[in-house]
Amino acid sequence: MAIPTIRSGARERDAVTDAVGVVILGGCAVWALVAAAGREARPEGVLLAVLAVAGGYACGRICGSLLPVFAASAAALTALALAVALRPDGGLPGDLPGAAAVGQSPGSTGATAGLLALASGAACCAAWAARPYLLRLALRLLALGVAVTALVLGSVAGFAAALGVLLCSLAAAHVRHRAVGLAGLALATGLVVGGSWAVAEDALPHGLTVSLEGQLTVNRVLLWRDAAELAKEYPTRGAGPDRFGRLSPTAQQTLNADGKPHSAPLQQAAEQGVVGVVLLGAAFGWMLYGLWRSPVATPVVLTAAAALTAVATLAAIGTALSFTAVTAGSGLLAGLATARRLPDDGGGGVVASEAAVRAPSR
């Protein structure tokens, strides 16, 4: 009699997590419309991003319940193919996400790095969910291949993100309490966001600021400072979605500018005010909360969280979230890592349970 009770409680927890997600994503969509009301603003980009996350998450939950290994493997290969396709010709090796030179597609390097992080995360999740040793090895080699591909494409940020996700996935096997790992990843994201905000406010020591400007480029720092000024001028509703490019002096004077401050939190602050920033943080927190309550194995959960943290970090200093492929992929990976596997009938299905993951390593 205990099994039905446990399953009923698990379904209730899933329902609560999904309800929270609906409220947060719905709030993001509604607030974008509120911030755009009465202005020459364009909230369509925000609405598309919300739809992409929701659609990807739903697809991940469905596919993860039916074919977890195949779905995650297919997601990894698709993300890798998109990263190769999005890489602009003539890209500068080692450039940071969102940095654009003359002749480049502005910001597409951020999408490339984000997709590579997601590809590595999906491949590692598939490896943890698979039972055969050779299949696990092949999928981890795929994740390593993603990192190598990043170097071939000249994306140092993508290489660091993909390799970091792979190393976090391997280390996840030794983490017994997922809450500790998730808290550490959340703290890392907070430090990056806080650091970018400190740079925008010129609150760091002069020597450190000069050093960071050399890595981030002066143009990016000036964009961040314009965003911070707009956030102070329009603290509640922001200046309106997609209006940063028209209001930022730096963006107007930049050749081939894409009209974005190259930082998702600062863009939210400038265009949607403090409420927009809170909703963006809540969306990321909801994903981590869903992973914490996920029924799948802890290594799968922490691997997905590492990939999502990499994307969040890239978005904090670039334009990764401005691309539908990245937002949809993030939702898809979160859905795959929180899917509840349908009851196995003994037909050889792969179940990403704690026992299935840890048994072969004993």
Q: Which residue has the tokens 């050749």?
A: 255
CA quadruple 81, 86, 88, 93: dihedral sign: negative
**Can you give the pTM of this predicted structure?**
0.88
Q: 168-202 b/e with 16+ CB inside 10 Å = b?
A: bbeebeebeebeebbebbbeebeebbebbbebbee
Residue pair 158/84 in contact (Cβ under 8 Å)? The answer is: no
In the prediction, which pLDDT does 258 show?
83
Q: What angle do CA 162, 164, 168 make, to 5 degrees?
A: 120
Q: Into how many domains does the chain fold?
A: 1
Question: Cα separations (Å) of 260 from 83, 103, 105, 235, 271?
Answer: 21, 18, 13, 18, 10
- pLDDT tens track, the chain, 362 positions: 333 444 555 666 778 888 999 999 999 999 999 999 988 889 999 999 999 999 999 999 999 999 999 999 999 999 999 999 876 543 433 344 444 433 334 346 788 999 999 999 999 999 999 999 999 999 999 999 999 999 999 999 999 999 999 999 999 999 989 999 999 999 999 999 999 999 999 888 888 888 888 888 889 999 999 999 999 999 999 999 999 999 999 988 887 778 899 999 999 999 999 999 999 999 999 999 999 999 999 999 999 999 999 999 999 999 899 899 999 999 999 999 999 887 654 333 334 444 445 443 33
C-alpha–C-alpha distance, residues 224 and 199, integer Å: 8
> In sequence order, which residues have a C-beta less than 8 Å from that of residue 321 and are 6 or more positions away?
49, 114, 264, 311, 315, 327
Q: Give CA torsion, residues 204, 207, 212, 218, to 10 deg.
A: 100
In the prediction, which pLDDT does 214 show?
82
In the prediction, which pLDDT does 14 show?
73
Question: Cα separations (Å) of 311 from 114, 162, 255?
Answer: 5, 10, 26
Residue pair 83/76 in contact (Cβ under 8 Å)? The answer is: no
In the prediction, which pLDDT does 355 show?
45
C-alpha–C-alpha distance, residues 140 and 135, integer Å: 9
Q: What angle do CA 161, 114, 289 make, to 5 degrees?
A: 85
Residue pair 321/117 in contact (Cβ under 8 Å)? The answer is: no
Nearest one of 129, 156, 150 to 64, comparing CA atoms: 129
Question: Cα separations (Å) of 128 from 148, 210, 278?
Answer: 21, 42, 33
In the prediction, which pLDDT does 206 show?
82
In the prediction, which pLDDT does 24 show?
97
In the prediction, which pLDDT does 356 show?
45
Question: Cα separations (Å) of 343 from 126, 228, 346?
Answer: 19, 51, 9
Domain boundaries, position 231: 2-341+350-361
